[in-house]
Amino acid sequence: MRKLSLTLAAAAMGLAASQASAADLPRKAPAYIPPALPPITWTGCYIGANIGGAFGNASATFNAGEVSTNGSGFAGGGQIGCDYQFAGSPWVIGFRNMFDGTTNDRSGTIGAGPLAGGVVNFNNQWFDTLTARLGYAVQPTWLLYFQGGGAWGHTSTDITFGGVQIGQTSKTRSGWTIGGGVEWMFAPHWSAFLEGNYMDFGSNNGTVFGVVACGAGCAYSTKATESTVLVGVNYRFW
């Protein structure tokens, strides 16, 4: 009986020692699971810059003559806006204001009428557009969009006859714009876009004096339109 008790005691001591030794061994760390990335969304506001080309058409109609000319130049400026993407949907709505300066000058010669031979110079100095836009995310980071709204531009028309300036109009015109493009979210908070727009600034009237044939004044009307192709980048606030 005494021998059996000693045997059981020795076994118990051995089991306790093995458990203590196992407790002292380093435990394997759990596998690292990276946190889930936030879902990609176009919801938020942004600010950015753009650069590109401006292509304009301008015309002036006189009592018995007309001049129409096309020109191209540089455009560059900035934009600010906000977008909202519907939850679980690829559809995006938003608004944007863009202001660009331009170097779009063009000129033409009056071919008929009392001012035949006179030169008309057209200049578009800047434009400002406020548009609503509707977009569709064909992929989470790629957005196709259509936009339209109001447009404002400062244009001037100078008329010279025989080397003497006989008329000038300089005015901020209001009109409308329509366009569209594609935008790519290439990094968190950053996106780049390529777009095209058309702007119509309507008509503006004036009168020229100082010419024998226009002793009582010759009335004229000018019309200006502008098209742009722009690339730009936006920083987005979420």
Of the listed ranges 103-112, 124-133, 182-191, 212-221, the least confidently predicted one is: 212-221
Tokens 């995006």, residue?
Answer: 92
Task: Show me where the domains of the chain are located.
Answer: 44-237
Contact 117, 161 (CB under 8 A): yes
Tokens 């204001």, residue?
Answer: 97
Q: How many CB atoms lie within 10 A of CB 87?
A: 8
What the block records as the tokens of 2 is: 């005494």
The SS3 assignment for 18 reads helix
Q: What is the pLDDT of residue 192?
A: 98
- Tell me what the mean pLDDT of segment 164-180 comes to: 87
Rg (alpha carbons) of the chain, rounded to whole number: 36
Under DSSP, the state recorded for 110 is -
- Tell me what the mean pLDDT of segment 141-153 comes to: 97
Cα separation of 66 and 209, whole Å? 17
Q: Please name which of 132, 131, 231, 129 lies closest in space to residue 183, comparing C-alpha atoms.
A: 231
CA distances from 235 to 44, 45, 128 (A): 10, 9, 20
CATH of domain 44-237: 2.40.160.20
pTM: 0.79
| pLDDT tens sequence across 25-59 | 566 667 766 665 567 899 999 999 999 999 988 88
| pLDDT tens sequence across 220-230 | 888 889 999 99
Q: What is the pLDDT of residue 124?
A: 87
User: Residue 215 pLDDT > 80, yes or no?
Assistant: no
Cα separation of 230 and 152, whole Å? 17
